[in-house]
Chain A
Amino acid sequence: MADMASLLIKNGTVLDPSQVFERRVDLFVQDGKITGLGGHLPKADRTIDATGCLVMPGLIDMHVHLREPGDEEEETIASGCAAAVAGGFTGVVCMPNTKPPLDNEGQITFVIREAQQVNLCYVWPTGAITKGREGKELAEMGSMLEQGAIAFTDDGVGVADAAVMRKSLQYARMFDAMIMQHCEEQSLSGGAMNAGLMATKLGLPGIAPEAEELMIARDLLLNRGIGCRYHVQHISTAGAVNLVRQAKRDGQRVTSEATPHHLLLTDECCRTYDTNYKMSPPLRTGADVKAVIDGVKDGTIDVLATDHAPHLAEEKEHEFPYAPNGIIGLECALPLYVKALVEPGHIAWMKLVELMSTRPAQVLGLKKGTLQQGADADIAIIDPQREWTVDPGQFKSKSRNCPFAGWKMKGRVMATVVGGEVKYELAR
């Protein structure tokens, strides 16, 4: 970020949940910081006309798989960051289930350095909780923290052994680091979709909601006397939402995140054995979708993430039980959340931006997610009226595994500014 030019974003409606601010004002950026908010601002080196657009703090995705190192044919830090800024994200938290996994300080340093070279958006790597993500021995969390790891998770799997999990919570608590859990009791998993009527019809092995709920319940019990920052990743069942809700009422340190697909799709989608509907946790029932939406509305769910999980078309072309889990999400997350939450009137735009920017920044302990004077100029400019059709062929991501192809969307990212620099602009 050598020459720090000034930038003026004009005529937009600035939406900042951190100040509960929603007004038609201009926004001035100087030296990578927000220096002015209002009218009659000075001329800048560059001006963006944001007429009809919402100007919001850059989105932060707490759950992304960048696949590098190891699976660069699916995604790289470069392609993943390009997808992120195209989706309005100015920062992403990447998962450690790479090959090799991010389970030591060298790997954390590698990701951060790569991301700096790519220079598109912030990348905050998570480290593995256990060495090799094997659930047996603790990884060097302290050393990884010193190198910039933002939190710890074995994502892709949960920490199965209760004794190891207790130690993880105790050890992370020493640094006040956050443990994020992929909640899935392994002895009950191994299925290909949600257990229930549709799995019964399709003859596919099911994953019961209890697999997710058991691990959350166990972790909440373990953490009760420890008080580690504990985050439930990709929450998907009604029972799981209830457990987190009750734990919050009890004053436990717990946060949780949802994904777009668990708000918009159900296990009925698996009907045609299309592997773009195969993910972990699996798509659940309509009742679960409603419960997750209720969790978003009442604050049980703190953060809206994506679980962006790129896979090669060849791999997704395998038979349903053998295909890998996951779908990509960065480039259509915002309009999907608009469709799931704003259009039906569940939440307002202000709340949406809070859940996609301000709140994830708070949960992660970052001074981000705000447009206050002096804040880092991480900004997303969104045209809420603009309609478009999802075409994964146009995505910046290297992968195409997206079940939303052909969906009609309302709301489009027009530009993304990171550290005062325009990193993405929709081609006109």
Chain B
Amino acid sequence: MANKSAFRWKRKHLLALEDLTVDEIMHVLSQADAFKEVSTRSVKKVPALRGKVLVNCFFEDSTRTRTSFALAASRLSADVVDFSEKTSSTSKGETLIDTARNIEAMGVDIFVLRHPAAGAAETLSRHVKCSVVNAGDGAHEHPTQGLLDLYTMRERFGKVAGLKVAIVGDIVNSRVARSNIWALTKLGAEVILVGPPTLLPKTFEKLGVKVIHDFDSVIGQVDVINMLRVQFERIKSSQFPTVREFTRFFGLTAERFVRCKKDVFIMHPGPMNRGIEISSAIADGPQSGILTQVANGLAVRMAVLYLVTQAQ
């Protein structure tokens, strides 16, 4: 116990995993362990954030992340307000900062921000007094997704160090990929990025990961395959010729799946393009951790919300 209490969480915001220490990451995961148990009770609620107000500020479509944060907050007894705006604030003439200051004036303790612009959460954190939790900023980071992926891998394999993890598909547009890269490399996993050069530029190698364009050359060696969603809304011009050709070279098809390790663990941050990057049989099959990821997301987000308010 003495050991545990030696670490003190000091971050008021969770903006990115890039600058988190291993201790901080492990601390979130153990906090999530503690909260996971709450979900198994008949009364699924603890008073940890009673009297606190959380605003779910979503400038992009999201079902799972928004619901997950809302549920996490209500299990901690916080009040939840939803603020969804499909268009970015710029198109209305009001800046994000103005919008946020207005909402904050109503008395808010935590901003959960999903925004199409990279850096939006960091910018916001410099202009408000309350906590900011990044729920995805453009192609930059999605730190709670990275943490829940980590949590799920650790749960499945008992450890993360030494695991070989392939992240496959549209890497360049993916905030999930970036958060996973930081978390996994910090914890000693080997990360292999797989995708066409148009969606996976060589610069990623400088982040300490492997860049591979031939999925089949690595598929038999990896413990985890994290299939990313092809983000049609972010892909500008043709970064691959057709969906059919993408699936042929980078889809997790039944033919490819048979060449995987027997105990391979299949992940996907959702929402899935079934039949494009992943076949339904695999997504719904016994090796799939996709729904476990969603379930763990709740505990991880409870942990994050709890910790950032403790640091206020």
* A residues whose Cβ falls under 8 Å from a Cβ of B: 190, 192, 195-197, 199-205, 272-273, 314, 317-322
Minimum C-beta distance from A61 to chain B (A) = 31
- Chain B: residues with Cβ within 8 Å of the partner, total of 27
B305 interfacial contact with A, CB 8 Å: no
**Identity of the chain B residue whose Cβ is nearest the Cβ of A196 in the assembled complex:** B203
Query: Using a CB–CB distance below 8 Å, which chain B residues touch chain A?
Result: 18, 88, 90, 95-97, 115, 117-120, 122-123, 137-141, 172, 175, 178, 201, 203-204, 206-207, 236
With a CB–CB cut-off of 8 A, which chain B residues contact A199? Answer: 203
Q: A200-B206, A204-B138, A318-B90 are in contact. List 6 more A-B contacts (CB 8 A).
A: A200-B201, A204-B140, A273-B122, A319-B88, A319-B123, A320-B117
Q: Contact between A321 and B118 (Cβ–Cβ < 8 Å)?
A: yes
Contact A322/B90 with A204-B138, A317-B95 known, Cβ cut-off 8 Å: yes
Q: How far is the CA of A199 from the CA of B207 in the complex (A)?
A: 12
* Neighbour of B137 across the interface among A196, A200, A203, CB < 8 A: A203
CB pair A314–B138 under 8 Å, yes or no, is no
CB closest residue in chain B, given A190: B236
Min CB–CB distance B143 → chain A (angstroms): 12
Residues of B within 8 A of A190 (CB): 236
Select from chain B the residue with minimum beta-carbon distance to A275: B123
Residues of A within 8 A of B172 (CB): 200
A to B contact number (C-beta, < 8 Å): 65
* CA gap between A199 and B140 in the complex, in Å: 9
Residue from B97, B139, B206 in contact with A317 in the complex, judged by beta carbons closer than 8 Å: B97
Least Cβ–Cβ distance between B162 and chain A, in angstroms: 25
Q: Tell me if A203 and B178 are in contact (CB < 8 A).
A: yes
**Taking A272-B122, A273-B119, A317-B95 as contacts, is the C-beta distance between A203 and B138 under 8 angstroms?**
yes
Cα–Cα distance between A285 and B141 once the two chains are bound (Å): 23
A319 and B115 within 8 A (CB): yes
Question: Across the interface, do A321 and B178 meet the contact criterion of CB distance under 8 Å?
Answer: no
> Which 10 residue pairs are nearest across A and B when measured between Cβ atoms?
A273-B119, A203-B140, A319-B117, A203-B139, A203-B118, A200-B203, A320-B119, A322-B90, A321-B117, A204-B118
- Minimum CB–CB distance from A336 to chain B (whole Å) comes to 25
- The reply to whether B95 and A273 form a contact with Cβ atoms under 8 Å apart is no
Residue of A195, A197, A318 with most partner-chain B CB within 10 A: A318
Q: Are B118 and A202 in contact (CB under 8 A)?
A: yes
Q: 26 pairs across A/B with beta carbons < 8 Å?
A: A195-B203, A199-B203, A200-B203, A200-B207, A201-B178, A202-B118, A202-B119, A203-B118, A203-B139, A203-B178, A204-B119, A204-B138, A204-B140, A205-B139, A272-B122, A314-B95, A317-B97, A319-B88, A319-B115, A319-B120, A319-B123, A320-B117, A321-B118, A321-B138, A322-B90, A322-B117
